[in-house]
Chains A and B, each alone.
Chain A
């Protein structure tokens, strides 16, 4: 059988299997834009991350190691540390505020129900992932995420996002950003396991922890310790360095120009 024919047969099989995988009961139960059932992953676990901002120095080691581990194109980030220079209006004193951002692996992820082909889904362990072979690149999920945690990868032309380095977790390793964090600010773990460091810290600091954009009702599972509530929503800030241009005004530092 030649390759083209074999490909066609596989696709035809997928079409049939796909049709069979939409049980009628599900159609009846799920209202429009409701969360579909989770699938895959370990149902006994719920991965989450706690970021101890008191320990973050804004070195961007997580940004770089994530880029290398997950091969995100330059200019696109699965994680990045927002760095703010804050001035006290009365005293004029300056302070730095560092805010690592990544996918919040929400319990009510707005990116999941919008996907028209169920390519993006939430695993039973809470990790939100994208099936790159199924994704049609409609970018609906990119629009739906209030945290700008998703992008369409210009190289693969499908949706791309943080997976908590699921491939590393499965191999018993820590995510690249956690592994490389010099201050030990990022703590990942299973919040269902009361003995885990993250579960113990959530217990200990319960009243101090904050999440981003809580009013969006997404139930984020990235918890910030040492957070300032003025940074929970989009902070009032002026952009500093926007993008880097050379003397002719041509853009430097981005691998891909505007699409």
Chain B
């Protein structure tokens, strides 16, 4: 049978790039919190440099993620309906309770950790004034409060990881989403993204340079932070690879219809084929790059480039899953076209949420001595002049 659908109605996508931004940022946030966990909550000395970076990453992304989520609602001012009509059988409603809890606990954890070095910044001027207000007194953050808040944030982060995955995986109306492998893949690619982000932050906030200066050139190859981050990144790559391979294998055994749906899409559409090859190539390049960096410490100065590639991988995975899958028609012929709009529902929204993240990062960098947290050496170039803004050269 050969047939033509004479007039194929086009069904627009219903979730916009804001959704990609949310799923990307929130995954960076909860996986960053996990990376901060050993140094912050368990107090492992070796993991404290990673924890310092991870805490910044977790807090900044946790603050921006819900903004993107809110923007994806068509009625954002009705957000309070989530709390007025709590619906425990809906994953999204469960998320609406645990997401603010996660954000709150993550910010609280960072506050408890950061207020210690911040106390030294109290004084005149804007930065000193903010430090005076934010530290809320001269008391020392008790260890138990850090541990309890950290454990709470960790518990909430698990729920956020599970709900963001199953919110999508539960939808049988889109066969490509309806697989238990998707939540695992979200976590694995999230971890890829967050280690990538930490490598980039490590390079551009100057923590790497400062640590290398302190260690001396000879010892620089044995720097633990780079090795730890690259190792986690490698493990995350392997986890993502195994998950994808298992998904494919189970699907070939006809036990996961999402694989059949994926093969259909790839066969029907040259764009999907190109996307699949790009994804496999990017994943392979990332894995090999990280492996080489682990084996050859002398070129670890390039780690941030692979950090960017890791971020790209995590973001593109979410773009493919959330946006491209929406263009697969469910009962009419063809693919529905999607063109990225220029306005706030499209490109401006993507750039804007990254801009907001950058703004939050800069504000924290200006007002919080996060480098000195958890026994860090702090700012090498902090200006004693309270009117001056600390410079991190």
Binding site for B on A (CB under 8 A): 11, 14-15, 18-19, 21-22, 27, 30-34, 36, 75, 77, 80, 82-89, 97, 101, 110, 113-119, 134-140, 142-148, 151-152, 157-158, 212-213, 216-217, 230, 233-243, 258-259
Contacts and interface: CB of A to CB of B under 8 A. Distances in A.
B84 A85 contact: no
Contacts of A114: 90-92, 170-171
Given A135-B75, A148-B331, A239-B333, A32 B5 contact: no
B269 interface: no
B14 interface: yes
Contacts of A212: 331
A119 B12 CA distance: 22
Contacts of A80: 9
Given A15-B83, A147-B331, A239-B5, 4 more contacts: A32-B88, A89-B1, A139-B14, A234-B332
Given A85-B4, A86-B3, A114-B170, A140 B92 contact: yes
Contacts of A14: 84
B96 interface: yes
Contacts of A18: 84-86
Given A36-B89, A138-B92, A145-B173, A259 B84 contact: no
Contacts of A85: 3-4, 6
Contact of B3 (A31, A87, A158): A87
Interface residues of B, number: 56
B82 A116 contact: yes
Given A139-B15, A144-B173, A238 B334 contact: yes
B93 interface: yes
B360 to A, nearest CB: 25
Contacts of B345: 259
A18 to B, nearest CB: 4
Contacts of A86: 1-3
B8 A241 contact: yes
A31 B87 CA distance: 11
B321 to A, nearest CB: 12
25 contacts: A18-B86, A32-B90, A32-B166, A82-B5, A82-B8, A82-B331, A83-B7, A110-B172, A115-B87, A115-B90, A118-B87, A136-B73, A136-B79, A143-B173, A146-B331, A147-B173, A148-B329, A234-B332, A235-B333, A236-B3, A237-B333, A239-B4, A240-B7, A240-B333, A243-B10
B330 interface: yes
B4 A237 contact: yes
A216 B337 CA distance: 25
Contacts of B341: 258-259
B87 A117 contact: yes
